[in-house]
């Protein structure tokens, strides 16, 4: 069990070192339009990520679009893999995953309301 825990921590460190993120405002259309995302996740007014769990392969780009009128965050549960800061309503956050593993994340503002998600990278 300790080996699995170590492997999980090593994967989180690898993500932080081998990936990139961007964020910005919306503009016309959906916030993630034109971002070249392989997968789009909505952070919505119902305090949920939709879909809550996604499965991707390494090198894929995920765009979280805030479809609510108030702030959300995309924050990894451990490490610094995902750290969007406040994403305003109508804005987005993009991250490219460069290593395999599982990244559990949450909205730091609404985590107590159950706003959580997971990315599994193969």
In the CATH scheme, what is the homologous superfamily, with its name and number, of domain 2-121?
A: Cupredoxins -  blue copper proteins (2.60.40.420)
3-class secondary structure for the chain?
CHHHHHHHHHHHHHHHHCCEEEEECCCCCCCCCCCCCCEEEEECCCCCEECCEEEECCCCEEEEEECCCCCECCEECCCCCCECCCECCCCEEEEECCCCEEEEEECCCCHHHCCEEEEEEC
Lowest mean pLDDT among 22-36, 39-53, 83-97: 22-36
From the number of C-beta atoms within 10 Å of its C-beta (0-12, 13-18, 19+), residue 82 rates as buried
The count of other CB atoms within 10 Å of the CB of residue 2 is 6
- How far lies 39's CA from each of 1, 31, 32, 43, 98, in Å? 32, 13, 10, 13, 15
Give the pLDDT band (50/70/90) at residue 12: very low
Task: Give the model's pLDDT for residue 49.
Answer: 98
Which tens digit of pLDDT belongs to each residue from 80-110? 899 999 999 999 999 999 999 999 999 999 9
* 1 vs 105 pLDDT, higher one: 105
Give the pLDDT band (50/70/90) at residue 23: low
Task: Give the model's pLDDT for residue 79.
Answer: 79
Task: Give the model's pLDDT for residue 41.
Answer: 97
Tell me the mean pLDDT in the region 9-24.
47
Task: Give the model's pLDDT for residue 92.
Answer: 97
Question: Would you list the domain boundaries of the chain?
Answer: 2-121
């Amino acid at each position: 069990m300790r080996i699995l825990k170590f492997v999980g921590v090593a994967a989180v460190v690898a993500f932080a070192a081998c990936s990139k993120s961007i964020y910005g405002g919306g503009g016309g259309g959906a916030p993630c339009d034109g971002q070249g995302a392989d997968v789009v996740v909505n952070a919505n007014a119902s305090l949920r990520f939709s879909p809550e769990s996604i499965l991707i392969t390494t090198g894929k780009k995920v765009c979280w679009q805030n479809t609510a009128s108030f702030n959300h965050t995309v924050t990894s549960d451990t490490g610094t893999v995902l750290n969007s800061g406040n994403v305003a309503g109508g804005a987005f956050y993009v991250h490219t995953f460069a290593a395999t593993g599982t990244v559990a994340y949450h909205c730091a503002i609404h985590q107590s309301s159950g706003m959580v998600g997971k990315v599994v990278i193969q």
